[in-house]
Amino acid sequence: MTLKSDLGSYRKNYTKNNNFSLDNFDTPLSLFNQWFKEFDNDITDSEVNAMTLSTVGIDGFPKNRIVLLKEFDEEGFTFYTNYNSEKGLSISKNNKVCLSFFWEQHERQVIIKGYAKKISDLKSNKYFNSRPRGSQLGAIVSNQSAVIDSKKELEENLIYLESKYRNKSIPKPINWGGYIVSPVEYEFWQGGENRLHDRARFSYKKNHWIIDRLSP
Ligand SMILES: Cc1cc2nc3c(=O)[nH]c(=O)nc-3n(C[C@H](O)[C@H](O)[C@H](O)COP(=O)(O)O)c2cc1C
Average pLDDT over residues 172-176: 97
Rounded to the nearest 5°, which phi and psi values hold at 37? -65, -45
Is residue 114 within 8 A of residue 99, CB to CB? The reply is yes
pLDDT, average across residues 175-197: 95
Please tell me the pTM assigned to this model: 0.95
Instruction: Give the distance (Å) from ligand 1 centre to CA of residue 53.
Output: 9
**Nearest protein Cα to ligand 1, atom 7:** 67
Q: Is the pLDDT of residue 3 over 70?
A: yes
In CATH terms, 12-128+174-214 corresponds, of 2.40.280.10, 2.30.110.10, 1.25.10.10, 3.40.630.10, to 2.30.110.10
Helix/strand number for the chain, H first, E second? 5, 9
Residue-level pLDDT at 1: 63
Task: For residue 74, report the distance from its CA to the centre of ligand 1, in Å.
Answer: 24
Which residues contact ligand 1 via a Cβ below 6 A?
Answer: 47, 50, 63, 65-68, 79-81, 85-87, 144-145
39-72: pLDDT as tens digits: 999 888 788 999 999 999 999 999 999 999 999 9
Report which residue type is found at 59: D
Confidence of residue 128 (pLDDT cuts 50, 70, 90): very high
> What average pLDDT does the structure give for the chain?
94
DSSP states of 159-213: HHHHHHTTTSPPPPPTTEEEEEEEEEEEEEEE--GGG--EEEEEEEETTEEEEEE
